[in-house]
Amino acid sequence: MSHSFVNMKKTVILIAFIAGALKGFAQNTNIAGVVKDAEQQTAVMLREIATAKQTDKKGVSPRTLEDGKLKLVASRDWTSGFFPGELWYLYELSGNKKWETTARSFTADIEQEKTNGTTHDMGFKVYCSFGNGYRLTKDPHYKEVIIQAAKTLSKRFNPVAGVLRSWDHSKNKWDFPVIIDNMMNLELLFEAYKLSGDRSLYQVAVSHADQTMKNHFRPDYSSYHVVDYDTLTGKINKKTTHQGYANESAWSRGQSWGLYGYTLCYRETKDIKYLQMAEHIAGFILNHPNLPKDGVPYWDFNAPGIPDEPRDASAAAVIASALYELSTYSKNAKKYRTAADRIVGSLTKSYRAPLGTASGFLLLHSTGTKLTNTEVDEPLSYADYYYLEALQRAKKLRMGKGLF
């Protein structure tokens, strides 16, 4: 037997051992222990927020660390709703009423956004905060805010193009830009339809999902970041990226938004084409040769310096949460749940901030916008939000409960 064959056999055994260990860790993640750690970290975060607010009078929610210091954002920022949402998940996961009280306080800071018609990020801001709050408390005021926010968002719909406008900025670059992230805001429209009976909100969401499916995706089910529409004809002007490596590359968080978005569209419509689309996107992600063994992607699947490129824990958290839900609809349930377990296990083991550090953020090693060197290898509030959501979904599935 040659030395090369023996070495190869040892390598195969080692890889199998590591994979098995990761899988075992993921399946046995101590969710209760992680939640206790998250509570401890969030207590640190609340103290840090109080200190930051002494000098930042407009800041209402944490977003990231900037030069090692906590960065707060105003309610108009697209990330403002994630921390209130985290608090609602902590309340749900722990059962501790103090987190409900704190969540209500931070959620109230977002309410003025319900009439802000200058943004497509209404779902991120209002649904993550008020949506989770309503789901857990059935507060009638929260219901009113959700409906108003959805009506405000729906005004950004262009019936010729059949989509919701994303950005208002950079009008010299785009006529009517639509980003893949916008799939996440459809959840607000679906919820408001159920609460109000206003079917126009449902129709806007479905139209946007259909047009995005038609125009954002390549034959391999990877997604462009930005598709620019001509509002007079509905035709496509161009397909580009703003945060990915290149126009034809697969920006990792963009792929996660698509996976999550079409999974929720299937939940709300039961239209099989959305389930099939979600499974196709999942296949692109999970079968990609550049996806690391731990399931936490590089910031772009086509980044030129792999394996020496930054990871994106936020994309991983979104993917894991989406896969847990997808597993409840698909014939490939075991595959998707195992993949989600692996990602959550990896995030828990290797990406969490040590207790008492990082101003109370839960996860490290996310990437905001690599091309502009903004928020690279930093904690991000939305990574923490979707990590807690993934943990909550994992907990429910372990208990044999439905997710919704």
Q: Walk me through the domains of the chain, giving residue ranges and CATH numbers.
A: 23-398 (1.50.10.10)
What was the pLDDT predicted at 152? Answer: 98
* Mean pLDDT of all residues in 200-211: 98
pLDDT at 353 > cutoff 50: yes
181 catalytic residue (yes or no): yes
CB-based burial label for 3 (10 Å; 0-12, 13-18, 19+): exposed
Q: How far is CA 353 from CA 39, 86, 283, 349, 363, in A?
A: 13, 16, 30, 10, 6
Question: Does the annotation list 88 as a binding residue?
Answer: no
d(CA 153, CA 284): 30
Read off the pLDDT of residues 295-339 as tens digits, 9 standing for 90 and up: 999 999 999 999 999 999 999 999 999 999 999 999 999 999 999
* Element containing residue 374 per DSSP (H, E): strand 374-378
**pLDDT classification of 27: cutoffs 50, 70, 90:** low
d(CA 177, CA 171): 9
Q: Nearest 5°: CA angle at 101, between 314 and 404?
A: 55
C-alpha of 71 from chain center? 20
What was the pLDDT predicted at 169? Answer: 87
Percent of the chain with pLDDT over 70: 93
Type of residue at 283: G
Does residue 36 sit in helix, strand or coil?
A: helix
pLDDT at 4 > cutoff 80: no
Strand partners for 64: 71, 380
- Exactly one of 109, 181, 294, 312 is catalytic; name it: 181
Question: Does the annotation list 121 as a binding residue?
Answer: yes
Backbone angles phi, psi at 216, to 5 degrees: -90, -20
191 with 150: CB under 8 angstroms?
Answer: yes
What was the pLDDT predicted at 303? Answer: 98
Question: Does the annotation list 241 as a binding residue?
Answer: yes
- Exactly one of 109, 121, 300, 312 is catalytic; name it: 121
Read off the pLDDT of residues 130-139 as tens digits, 9 standing for 90 and up: 999 999 999 9
Question: Does the annotation list 63 as a binding residue?
Answer: no
Read off the pLDDT of residues 110-159 as tens digits, 9 standing for 90 and up: 999 999 999 999 999 999 999 999 999 999 999 999 999 999 999 999 99
Of the listed ranges 108-112, 172-176, 191-195, 367-371, the one predicted with least confidence = 172-176
C-alpha of 60 from chain center? 20
**pLDDT classification of 16: cutoffs 50, 70, 90:** very low
